Each structure stands twice: as structure tokens, then as C-alpha cells.
Amino acid sequence: MRSEAAVAVLDDARDMADELTRFRRDLHAHPELGLDLPRTQEAVLAALDGLPLEISTGTATTSVTGVLRGAGDGQAVLLRADMDAIPVQERTGLPYASVAPGVMHACGHDLHTAMLVGAAHLLAGRRDELPGDVVLMFQPGEEGWEGARTMIEEGVLDAAGSRVAAAYGMHVFSSLPRHFHTRSGTVLASSSALLVTVHGEGGHASTPHLARDPVVVVAEMVLALQTMVTRRTDVFDPVVLTVGMLNAGTRRNIIPPSASFEATVRTFSDATATRVGDEALRLLEGIARAHRRGRRPVHA
């Protein structure tokens, strides 16, 4: 059976549901990118207005930090949500779809932000029951902008006056509704970037033997990286390597002087991240060496 306190929290959450839904849909309709989220910051500050919080905003970003003082002198904990969107065109047709061309909350950060606003209201209503302080971290620039690093450099971990003992965050998944999932140890993967440029020598498509074609080299590298991951990785310490960008050339009948690609590498341990990086570098350098001719090498 649920305790009376738990039932009270659920009742309060139900009372807030409509308001938080409106807040989240407003964020969804007005997404912003990167570290500069002025409208989102304004919306968060308005949603927190009136709560017994010590509010501060970032100087290098449009971050928001709130400190809720508990009744006890226990350790402080941090709750974190990211606020930025991604450069994707929304075509859902929803009444609250993004009005910003080419920008969408497709990764759930609008919901993360609404969840933390809801947590702030629920905790503020029970601050006398809290054994320690709670730091609320509303972070811009999660999508590759190192917003967390900037907030840490600006002191978010010590916002309560002493270093937080723990930090908590959640990520929503549309395929797992109405459930919470966690486990001991690592839960989510790290994300590393692999950036590769192959320099060859341009020429006409009709005479590839007179050029040094970087396109075929890049194509070979992309396929070889996929094989490397499947053949050299323990399935119980998984790795995902996905090439999301590939750029070369200006016209179909011109061999370009260079070609490049960018990949994301997801791993669950530092050791595996280091190993995959080292193996990828050896593999790419080997392919580059295999395509060298004479005094004009191809570099990767």
C-alpha cells in the first residue's frame, strides 16, 4: 500500500498535469538551439516564479540554476534537465508543432524541462521534509555544445554552498511509455566524435587514373569501420559507430581534391572508448596507406 505522503505527492502531480502539459507544448512549439535559449530561459524563470528558490542565471549561456533549501543540514543533491532542441524539420502536424523552421524538440528536452519544473513545485511544497538542499540545473547546449561543462565551470555543483553529493537526470524514450527503467552501473552510453578528412588530388571523372580519388577511399573507410565494430567488439560491452555526415565534390563529373565524413561513437566504458579510437585510427591510416601512389600520398 502507498503511504499517505506518496498519495499526497501523486495528488499534487495530477493537479499540476494540465499546467505542465501546456508548458511543455509551449516549449515544443518554440524550440531553440545551442547555448543561447533566451525564450526557453524566460519560460523556465516564469514557471519557477513564486517558489522559494534561490535563482541564478548563467553568464556564458542562458542556463538557469535554482537552489531549494531543505529543513535539515544533510548533503545537497542535484536534479538536471537539458533544454535545447536539434536541427530537424518537424512534420508531425500536431497543433503544437514547432513554428521554428528547421528546429524541433525531437529528443525530448522539452519534456525533460517540464519534468524538472514539476519536480521543483512538488519539492518546494515539501521543503520542510527535505533533509538537505536540492540544486535544480536547467542546462542549455546538451546537443554537442558542452553546456554542462560551462555550467560546471560557473559553479553549478557548488550552488548550494557545498559540493553536491549526487546528481540525477532522466531521459525519455517514446518507445517505453509509462515505465521507469534503471540499473546498477552504467545506464547510458558516452558519445565521442570521429572526424575524418581524406586529401587526394582532383581531376576529371573520365580520367580517374590521372587523379587521386578521395571518394572511393572514404567509401572504403566507412564500410571498414562498420566491420571493425562487429568483428572486434564484445557484445556484452557494446559499441555503436554511425556515420552521420559524408561530404565530397561539387559536380558528378569532377573528382574532388578531398572528401570527409563525421561519425558518432557510443560506448559504455572509458577503456572501450580508448580502444575503439586507437583501432579506428590504425584502420583508417592503413586504408590511406593502401591508396598512396608515388610522392602524392592520401592522408586520413
pTM score, two decimals? Answer: 0.74
Q: For residue 141, what pLDDT is reported? A: 92
Domain 190-290 indexed as CATH 3.20.20.60: no
DSSP H/E element including 149 = helix 147-153
The C-alpha atoms of residue 112 and residue 129 are separated, in whole angstroms, by 24
Spatial strand order of the sheet with 190-199 comes to: 190-199, 258-267, 239-248
Start and end residues for every CATH 3.40.630.10 domain found in the chain: 4-169
Start and end residues for every CATH 3.30.70.360 domain found in the chain: 190-290
Cell 602524392 locates to 296
The C-alpha atoms of residue 260 and residue 227 are separated, in whole angstroms, by 19
pLDDT tens sequence for the chain (300 residues):
455 554 455 556 677 888 899 999 999 999 999 999 999 999 999 999 999 999 999 999 999 999 999 988 889 999 999 999 999 999 999 999 999 999 999 999 999 999 999 999 999 999 889 999 999 999 999 988 889 999 999 999 999 998 999 999 988 887 777 788 888 888 888 888 999 999 999 999 999 999 999 999 999 999 999 999 998 888 888 899 999 999 999 999 999 999 999 999 999 888 899 999 999 999 999 999 998 864 444 444
* Superfamily of domain 4-169, CATH level 4: Zn peptidases (3.40.630.10)
The C-alpha atoms of residue 31 and residue 81 are separated, in whole angstroms, by 15
The C-alpha atoms of residue 276 and residue 237 are separated, in whole angstroms, by 12
φ/ψ region of 114 (left if φ > 0, alpha if ψ in -120 to 50, else beta) reads alpha
